[in-house]
Structure 1
Amino acid sequence: MLAILWVLLMLPAFARAQAPAASAAAAAPAPLLVLSATQPLVPLESRSRYWLDESGMRTPEEVDRERDRLPWQVRGPGMQHDIDAKALWIEFEAQRADASRWFLEIKSSGLDRAQFFWRQRDGRWVSEEAGDTRPVSAWPIPGRFPTFELAGETGVPVHYYVRIELARVNFASPLALYDERELLGEREAEQFLLGGYFSLALLITLVSLALAVADRDRNFAAYATYVLAMGLAQAAYLGVGTQHLWPNMLKWNEMAPFVLPGVAAAAGLWFAKVVTEPARYSRALDLAVWSLIAGVLAAVGLDAWINTRASFELVMVLSLVAIVVVFVLIALVWRQGEDPLIRLVALGFLPVLLTALLPLARGLNLIPTSAWTRYGLTAGAALEMPILFYALMRRGAARREAQTRASALPGSDTLTGLATRATLLQRLQAAQNRAVSLRQRIALLGVRIANLDAIVAEHGRDTGERALVVAASLLRAAGQDIDLAARLGEHDLALMIDGPVTAEIATSRAQQLVASGLRPSASLPPDVTLRFRVTVALLPEGERDAASALAWVQEALDAPRTDARKMIRALNA
């Protein structure tokens, strides 16, 4: 593990060491770009030149005056630039062929400063600025990405300069020119998709918090924390926070893209720990997970304090280690086979665990900025949220069912799960009182498994117990939600049918029960069926209370029958 961590820590330095050095000879001037509506999107890769101002102090007048003497290089696809305490200059030349409006967009949120310069025909410079140094509302074109409008004159070549400042990570974002329709269409599509993601994240966060409070479920509490942290991290990374959530908090605009991803990684690891419970398998593993969570948060705090490239790379590497640990925790629970829903949990985690590698690699300067690094994790989180929420709902339902069964044990038969005699008497008395006041009737069915002793004698006690469980299931199926099935003795069961009930309804239920018992069951041997003898009574009957009514029904079950083939006996129906 130490060797793996050493390799991870050395990856950024290795990537910088392998970066190609600029050649001494300056590149040829960038080609003139003729902009027309026939090509609404013009990428600037290989159509622009760059130069790194080591002092970071050059003005556009100085750069333009010395343009032919500066060591410009062609800016190709995927190039990265370390511009800590420096300034990156990018120049291109464009000419509008028609009256449509054109814009330059830098596909990167979180830039410290992006400046755009061009000179008018009278010699005056046009200067515009965007980035974290000013609120989005003060940008030339407000939005998630720095955007500038090109000169409005048609048929005249204009030389443009872009000056970029960015600390702690390499600048590796593409620049492109858009006509007005293309830019608006792209922005509307992005806002629609991001609105869907953030709406889903907010909904799941609120519902999870409500379930956490209502059910005292720390799984949902951890999940709500994780989804909220992930949503805030995505808002900072994608520029949504700067645009909508904290537009005037300039210092936080600068810090949020570095602080929130690490917090989200720690929250995700905590959620995985709560779900998998590593303490059940190893206290050392549990302590190691807690230590890693604390380490990630400590690294985030250190990075917020010292603001260096190395401190941010430490956060990224520890976040990468957290992803590996989440994989290990899920694999451990999967291997133990104790959690039937772990496969669903693993399926939920998988999209984020895979797509999170893209922004981590970008943060470590291993790959350039692209649509995948910008939106891959957002898409993965959108897939993850409903799957994990469903898995937690299933887990919560299973836990609540177990708790319900445990709380019902004093009033339930341990073998069949049916109500006990005492519970039946209590419900029967309440139902009779209600029937008297409403002037309606209820029914009580006494049920005896007439061939249970024969089943036990031929097939053994285990088959007899299975027969009782099958009989209980059939008794429940014959009733409705408001009815109550109970076990009275070794052979006897009862079904209280709450009102209003007629003699026809009660007899029909009895016939349904007798017929269902004669059908073969997969839980019993093929030659075994259940022969039910049923006594039907409509209540209230005279002055009988619940106890005397039940005794009346049981006496009828015990009484000999003149016709042994008749399985249903009506007492007063």
Structure 2
Amino acid sequence: MFVLLLSLCSQVVAADKETLQLEYVASNAKIVDVINNPSILWQTTDDKVLNLGYSNLSYWVRTSLNIDEKEGPYLLEIAYPVLDQLDVYMLQEGNIFVHQQLGDKQPFVDRPFAHEHFIIPLPNGTHGKVALYIKVRSSSALQLPVVLWTNHDFLINDQVFRIVMGIYFGLMGIMAAYNVLLYFTIRESTLFYYVLYVICLALFSACLSGFAFRYLWPNSLWWNDQAILFFLISSVLTGTYFVMTLLEIGISDKWLYLGCRLILGLGLVLLFSSVFFDYAVMIKLTIAYAVSACIWGVFCRILRLAGKSRLATFYSIAWSSVLIGGIILALNKLDLISQTWFTENALLIGTAIEVACLSIAIGEKLNT
């Protein structure tokens, strides 16, 4: 039901938004130099969303806006909440009339519009052709989905977005709450690790979607970066403990046990190292680590659940869903596949399916 609703909502929203065609160039120049230098070789992209992967460079991005005053007022949305630094300029007849500094390196309260994404209201009375220039630099994946909305269409889109995310976080919260109550009743360690795993996954998703920065730590800039690494690594660690208890992997299962211990050890090293090393380096290592751990979880199922049909079925669906979703999201961030609605939300879909199937798998184990 969650996946069907998410798909339906995406189709409704896609009909109303105007995604802008962007040109870009790698440069650290000032706005005056960029505007007045006709020799700059701007590159165009065929994708609807500019995706430059992980890069240490600064980029200038430009496009043109055609503003119909009768349809306004308008909002400009940059729908990727983990960008570090954004300088947004709007010009008419060569004169700058809007300049906003944005990014998750600034306190949330400094934003001109309180929202998880970066929103810039256009001044009332703006009409005609407007030149848009954006200077962007980020240690996260450098993606720039730029959308021009009327206020009316934005409000409709935002309501749909919040309903979908509310259902997702509600699902995660229900699963965690139900199983923690069950744990206090029967004291089964599998339930304890499952609850920790679900909480870490939900917080990781909250970090990626910008909700955590807005509602949980709007003034903690350092932690906002670290939280993505912390909760992704913590999800792998708690997930590995969960797999070991669900599948009853003990010392007698020599190679499986050693493999799980290796994943736990590497996770602790990454968790400690993330405090001292550059985010751009650590996020690539963490993504590779998380995908490898998911593959190991599938391998453990093959060796431990042969012949246990019902538990094997639910476990396989669960782990395959999050593995596929995680790989698609990783390929998206590494600029190996285009950013679309599906690639951006693949992990949300995968984890929603996963937590439901794992809960059923726990029930099957307890029944057995």
TM-score, structure 2 as length reference: 0.87
- Distance apart, 1:343 and its partner CA: 2.1
- 1:376 corresponds in structure 2 to 346
Deviation at 1:120, TM superposition (A): 5.9
Q: Distance in 1 between matches of 2:268 and 2:141?
A: 23
Aligned to 1:140: 112
Which blocks of at least 5 consecutive residues in structure 2 are unaligned? 1-14
1:80 aligns with one of 47, 51, 68: 51
> Could you say which residue in structure 2 is the equivalent of 1:110?
82
Q: Which residue of 1 aligns with 2:361?
A: 391
Contact in 2 for aligned 1:222/1:271 (Cα 8 Å) = yes
Tell me, yes or no, if the aligned pair for 1:114 and 1:162 is still in contact at 8 Å. yes
- C-alpha distance in 2 between matches for 1:386 and 1:40: 33
* Residues 64-463 of structure 1 mapped to structure 2, 5 A cutoff: 64-66=35-37, 68-77=38-47, 79-81=50-52, 84-99=55-70, 100-119=72-91, 123=95, 125-167=97-139, 169-279=140-250, 282-335=253-306, 337=307, 340-398=310-368
Residue 198 of structure 1 deviates from its aligned partner by: 0.8
CA contact (8 A) 2:90 2:132 kept: yes
Change beyond 3 A, Cα 1:152–1:92: farther
Q: Which runs of 5+ in 1 are unaligned?
A: 1-38, 399-573
Judged with a 3 Å threshold, the aligned counterparts in structure 2 of structure 1 residues 368 and 135 are, in CA distance, closer, same or farther, namely farther
Q: Secondary structure at the match of 1:296?
A: helix
Look up the match of 1:461.
Answer: none
Partner of 1:49: 23
State the identity %: 19
Name the SS for the 2:144 alignment partner: coil
Q: 1:127 to 1:200 in 2, by over 3 A?
A: same
Q: Which runs of 4+ in 1 moved over 6 A?
A: none
* Cα-to-partner distance string for 1:427-481 (whole Å, 9 max, x where unaligned): xxxxxxxxxxxxxxxxxxxxxxxxxxxxxxxxxxxxxxxxxxxxxxxxxxxxxxx
Change beyond 3 A, Cα 1:280–1:364 = same
Report the secondary structure of 1:186's partner residue: helix
Judged with a 3 Å threshold, the aligned counterparts in structure 2 of structure 1 residues 81 and 353 are, in CA distance, closer, same or farther, namely closer
Q: Which has the larger radius of gyration?
A: 1
Q: Is the 8 A contact 2:240 2:264 kept in 1?
A: yes
Q: 1:105 to 1:254 in 2, by over 3 A?
A: same
Q: Where do residues 553-564 of structure 1 align in structure 2 (5 Å cutoff)?
A: none
Task: Classify the secondary structure of the residue corresponding to 2:143.
Answer: coil
Counterparts in 2 of 1:220 and 1:133: CA distance versus 1, 3 Å: same
Q: How many residues align?
A: 352
What corresponds to 2:5 in structure 1?
A: none
Q: Is the 8 A contact 1:173 1:369 kept in 2?
A: no
Q: 1:264-301: per-residue Cα shift (whole Å, max 9, x none)?
A: 12222221222112227522320221111221332233
Give 1:243 deviation, angstroms. 1.8
* Separation (CA, whole Å) in 1 of partners of 2:94 and 2:313: 69
SS at structure 2 position matched to 1:69: coil
CA contact (8 A) 1:109 1:144 kept: yes
Instruction: Give secondary structure in 2 for the equivalent of 1:304.
Output: coil
Q: Higher relative CO (CA 8 A, sep ≥ 6), structure 1 or 2?
A: 2
Write the letter of the residue equivalent to 1:312: I
Letter in 1 for 2:88: F
